[in-house]
Amino acid sequence: MQVLDGGFCSNCFNHVQTPVVELDAAWDGPVVDVDGTQVSVDDLRLCATCVRSAAEVLDVSPESLTQARNEAEAARLELERWQKHAQALERLLADRPEVLPKVEKTGRKKA
Ligand SMILES: [Zn+2]
Protein backbone atom coordinates (compact mmCIF):
# COMPACT_ATOMS: atom_id res chain seq x y z
CA MET A 1 0.00 0.00 0.00
CA GLN A 2 1.33 3.40 -0.86
CA VAL A 3 0.20 6.97 -1.32
CA LEU A 4 0.38 8.44 -4.81
CA ASP A 5 0.38 12.12 -5.71
CA GLY A 6 -2.87 11.78 -7.62
CA GLY A 7 -4.78 9.59 -10.01
CA PHE A 8 -8.13 7.88 -10.48
CA CYS A 9 -10.29 6.91 -7.58
CA SER A 10 -11.90 3.48 -7.92
CA ASN A 11 -14.87 4.63 -5.88
CA CYS A 12 -15.88 8.06 -7.14
CA PHE A 13 -14.11 7.77 -10.53
CA ASN A 14 -12.69 11.26 -10.18
CA HIS A 15 -9.19 11.96 -11.43
CA VAL A 16 -7.69 13.96 -8.59
CA GLN A 17 -4.43 15.81 -8.04
CA THR A 18 -4.64 15.14 -4.31
CA PRO A 19 -3.22 12.04 -2.54
CA VAL A 20 -4.57 8.67 -3.66
CA VAL A 21 -4.11 5.46 -1.68
CA GLU A 22 -2.94 2.55 -3.84
CA LEU A 23 -4.31 -0.59 -2.19
CA ASP A 24 -2.15 -3.06 -4.15
CA ALA A 25 -5.21 -4.88 -5.42
CA ALA A 26 -6.34 -5.54 -8.95
CA TRP A 27 -9.81 -4.33 -9.78
CA ASP A 28 -11.90 -4.69 -12.90
CA GLY A 29 -12.87 -1.07 -13.17
CA PRO A 30 -14.34 0.94 -15.99
CA VAL A 31 -12.62 2.57 -18.94
CA VAL A 32 -12.61 6.33 -18.47
CA ASP A 33 -11.76 9.24 -20.69
CA VAL A 34 -8.73 11.30 -19.69
CA ASP A 35 -8.28 14.27 -21.96
CA GLY A 36 -9.47 12.24 -24.94
CA THR A 37 -7.50 9.10 -24.05
CA GLN A 38 -9.35 5.99 -22.89
CA VAL A 39 -7.78 4.67 -19.68
CA SER A 40 -8.69 1.40 -17.99
CA VAL A 41 -8.99 1.65 -14.21
CA ASP A 42 -7.49 -1.69 -13.16
CA ASP A 43 -5.97 -0.86 -9.77
CA LEU A 44 -7.89 -0.36 -6.59
CA ARG A 45 -7.08 3.20 -5.56
CA LEU A 46 -9.03 5.55 -3.36
CA CYS A 47 -8.82 9.32 -3.19
CA ALA A 48 -8.41 11.06 0.16
CA THR A 49 -12.05 12.14 0.17
CA CYS A 50 -13.29 8.56 -0.24
CA VAL A 51 -10.81 7.22 2.33
CA ARG A 52 -12.00 9.91 4.76
CA SER A 53 -15.66 9.00 4.11
CA ALA A 54 -14.91 5.31 4.72
CA ALA A 55 -13.04 6.16 7.91
CA GLU A 56 -15.99 8.20 9.17
CA VAL A 57 -18.34 5.26 8.50
CA LEU A 58 -15.99 3.20 10.69
CA ASP A 59 -16.01 6.01 13.27
CA VAL A 60 -12.37 6.79 12.64
CA SER A 61 -13.02 10.50 12.42
CA PRO A 62 -10.33 13.04 13.32
CA GLU A 63 -12.31 13.71 16.52
CA SER A 64 -12.36 10.02 17.52
CA LEU A 65 -8.62 9.76 16.80
CA THR A 66 -7.98 12.81 18.96
CA GLN A 67 -10.11 11.32 21.74
CA ALA A 68 -8.25 8.00 21.51
CA ARG A 69 -4.89 9.80 21.63
CA ASN A 70 -6.01 11.84 24.64
CA GLU A 71 -7.17 8.69 26.43
CA ALA A 72 -3.87 6.95 25.65
CA GLU A 73 -1.92 9.95 26.96
CA ALA A 74 -4.03 10.05 30.15
CA ALA A 75 -3.39 6.31 30.66
CA ARG A 76 0.35 6.84 30.09
CA LEU A 77 0.43 9.64 32.69
CA GLU A 78 -1.52 7.49 35.17
CA LEU A 79 0.97 4.64 34.63
CA GLU A 80 3.85 7.06 35.18
CA ARG A 81 2.31 8.25 38.48
CA TRP A 82 1.89 4.65 39.72
CA GLN A 83 5.45 3.77 38.66
CA LYS A 84 6.80 6.73 40.66
CA HIS A 85 4.66 5.70 43.63
CA ALA A 86 5.96 2.11 43.43
CA GLN A 87 9.57 3.36 43.20
CA ALA A 88 9.01 5.59 46.24
CA LEU A 89 7.66 2.60 48.22
CA GLU A 90 10.65 0.50 47.16
CA ARG A 91 13.04 3.24 48.38
CA LEU A 92 11.19 3.42 51.70
CA LEU A 93 11.50 -0.33 52.18
CA ALA A 94 15.20 -0.25 51.26
CA ASP A 95 15.85 2.53 53.80
CA ARG A 96 13.93 0.80 56.61
CA PRO A 97 16.26 0.58 59.64
CA GLU A 98 15.16 -2.88 60.77
CA VAL A 99 15.60 -5.93 58.61
CA LEU A 100 12.38 -7.54 57.56
CA PRO A 101 12.09 -11.26 58.21
CA LYS A 102 12.38 -13.42 55.14
CA VAL A 103 9.05 -14.77 53.99
CA GLU A 104 9.22 -18.04 52.17
CA LYS A 105 7.16 -18.06 49.03
CA THR A 106 5.11 -21.16 48.81
CA GLY A 107 3.47 -20.54 45.46
CA ARG A 108 0.43 -22.40 44.23
CA LYS A 109 0.06 -26.08 44.68
CA LYS A 110 0.39 -27.98 41.46
CA ALA A 111 -2.68 -29.88 40.41
ZN1 LIG B 1 -12.83 8.99 -4.49
Q: Give pLDDT tens digits for 25-72.
A: 988 888 888 788 888 888 999 999 999 999 888 888 888 889 999 999
pLDDT of res. 76: 98
Give CA–CA dist 94/83, Å, rounded.
16
Report H helices in the chain.
48-57, 62-94
Q: How far is the CA of 68 from the centre of ligand 1 (A)?
A: 26
Q: How far is the CA of 11 from the centre of ligand 1 (A)?
A: 5
Q: How far is the CA of 57 from the centre of ligand 1 (A)?
A: 15
**pTM higher than 0.75, yes or no?**
no
Q: Give pLDDT tens digits for 6-22.
A: 988 999 988 899 999 99
